[in-house]
Amino acid sequence: MALVDITSSAPDFDSDPHSFYAALRAAGPVHQVRGPGPERDAYWLVVGYEEARQALTHPGLLKDWRNSGLFPDIEPSAAGSNMLEADPPHHTRLRRLVAREFTARRVEALRPRVQRITDELLDAMAGRPERSADLVEALAFPLPMTVICELLGVPDLDRERFRRWSNEIVAPRPETTNEEAFVQLTLYLTELVAEKAESPGDDLLSALIRTRDEDGDSLSPDELIGMAFLLLVAGHETTVNLISNGVRALFAHPDQLAALRADCDGLLAGAVEEMLRYDGPVQNATYRYAAGDVELGGVLIPSGSVVLASLAGAGRDPDRYAEPDVFDIRRAPGGHLAFGHGLHFCLGAPLARMEGRIAIRSLLERFPALEADPAGGPLEWIPGTLMHGVTRLPVRW
């Protein structure tokens, strides 16, 4: 099977990955592709909905690279001691301990605060005499960043420094490495966990430090650092792009924007689900490693292979969705995979949905004439195959 180039070095991939996934999907649900660099970086990409769903739960596809045997020379880091890079029974233990504190009640209790933060950010937007702004800078980034920092108990985090680290980790450019960002963020979180252990508060990180299972089990220092890393990075990066991608989709479909404005109560929840399906923030789930030969979609993936389940590819599979390239806020959700599936389904999905709904509703209510600002220049796209979105979104009203 020929290698397919599906990287940011391919023209227009960053701005429109969906066309690339559609072309692959038309030829079959599973393909061998390559990332930036030499041919040894080849991996398997699963673009069909049913096949991606299977990949996300396949017992033969491991999440813990330390068990894959592929990277014998890499030293594990504390930041990697998290649920996303663990398999059962270790994953089961970690998720159980975190779920004891990251509860639906704790998330729901944040609703008034999320609304207040949103209102304050929109107040600042409305006060701009030029009646224009970068929506990422004004709302999409500071809202989830503030919420996750307050939830974890790190309100004094240097946001710009953290944003730089996070961007380098989730979307490194082909000519750069993200190793330094990992090191710097891990050092910061190591100090933070030590400070919380010394002076705990009523925040989630302090609760994770205190939590004990029925048998006395608790998170180790490295596991606390790993969970803080996962919650901080995943807790804001995804929601930034949920909001900005959703607003872009509404701008590109004025009939859908008008319908949502006319019936926000009835259509908002479905609109956010359609935003997640149509152009979700995460293109592809993180790496999985074949512990043995694995068959998906009639394709044999050899043992030792790296596998990516394409959430973006699955979201527009015509075998799953009628007219998948049509943005329709009245569409039945249909079990999209934007938050993953199975054991690794996103623990923060309820919080992301809440933030997305509050942000979109409040933005449209506050700015009835909101539109894209052509004077803001061309859009700049997040590079790579993990996240999809823009680094800035100029708007005017």
Residue-by-residue DSSP string for 155-202: TT--HHHHHHHHHHHHS--TT---HHHHHHHHHHHHHHHHHHHHS--S
- Residue 305's pLDDT band, with cuts at 50, 70 and 90, is very high
pLDDT at residue 354 above 50? yes
Portion of the chain with pLDDT greater than 70, in percent: 93
From 14, 10, 18, select the one nearest 384 (Cα to Cα): 14
Residue 246 near residue 267, CB atoms below 8 Å: no
Q: What is the tens place of the pLDDT at every residue in 33-60?
A: 976 544 447 899 999 999 999 999 999 9
- Residue 216's pLDDT band, with cuts at 50, 70 and 90, is confident
- Residue 179's pLDDT band, with cuts at 50, 70 and 90, is confident
Q: Which pLDDT value is given to residue 273?
A: 98
Element (H, E) at 346: none
Q: What angle do CA 163, 139, 116 make, to 5 degrees?
A: 115
Residue 284 near residue 312, CB atoms below 8 Å: yes
Bridge partners for 295 per DSSP: 300
- Residue 1's pLDDT band, with cuts at 50, 70 and 90, is low
In 10 A of CB 388, how many CB atoms?
24
pLDDT at residue 200 above 80? yes
Q: What is the tens place of the pLDDT at every residue in 362-396?
A: 999 999 999 999 999 999 999 888 899 999 999 99
Q: Which pLDDT value is given to residue 114?
A: 97
- Residue 215's pLDDT band, with cuts at 50, 70 and 90, is confident
Residue 289 near residue 258, CB atoms below 8 Å: no
DSSP line for 56-106: HH-TTEES-GGGTSS-TTPPP-GGG-SGGG--TTHHHHHHHHHHTTS-HHH
| Least confident range of 31-45, 156-170, 290-304, 321-335 | 31-45
Does the CA dihedral 297-302-303-304 come out positive or negative? negative
Distances (CA, A) of 7 to 17, 34, 226: 9, 7, 28
Alpha-carbon span 29 to 175, nearest angstrom: 30
Helices (H), 177-280: 179-198, 204-210, 221-252, 254-262, 264-279
- Which residue has 């299977």 as its token pair? 54
Q: Which pLDDT value is given to residue 16?
A: 93
Residue 239 near residue 356, CB atoms below 8 Å: yes
Find the mean pLDDT for residues 192-209.
90
Q: Which pLDDT value is given to residue 252?
A: 98
pLDDT at residue 104 above 50? yes
Q: Which pLDDT value is given to residue 38?
A: 42
Mean pLDDT score of the chain, rounded to an integer? 90
Bridge partners for 47 per DSSP: none
> What are phi and psi for residue 68, nearest 5 degrees?
-85, -25
Element (H, E) at 312: helix 311-315
Find the mean pLDDT for residues 17-35.
92
Q: Which pLDDT value is given to residue 35?
A: 66
Pairing label, strands 42-46, 288-290: unpaired
C-alpha dihedral (56, 166, 21, 47), degrees to nearest 10 = 0
pLDDT at residue 80 above 90? no
Q: Who has greater pLDDT, 229 or 69?
A: 229
Residue 223 tokens, joined: 């596991």
Radius of gyration for the chain, computed over Cα atoms and rounded to the nearest angstrom: 21
Domains and CATH numbers, the chain: 4-396 (1.10.630.10)
Q: Which pLDDT value is given to residue 55?
A: 98
Find the mean pLDDT for residues 72-77.
71
Q: What is the tens place of the pLDDT at every residue in 236-254?
A: 889 999 999 999 999 999 9
Residue 152 near residue 228, CB atoms below 8 Å: yes
From 203, 210, 204, 158, select the one nearest 184 (Cα to Cα): 158
Find the mean pLDDT for residues 62-72.
79
pLDDT at residue 136 above 70? yes
Q: Which pLDDT value is given to residue 132?
A: 97
Alpha-carbon span 32 to 18, nearest angstrom: 17
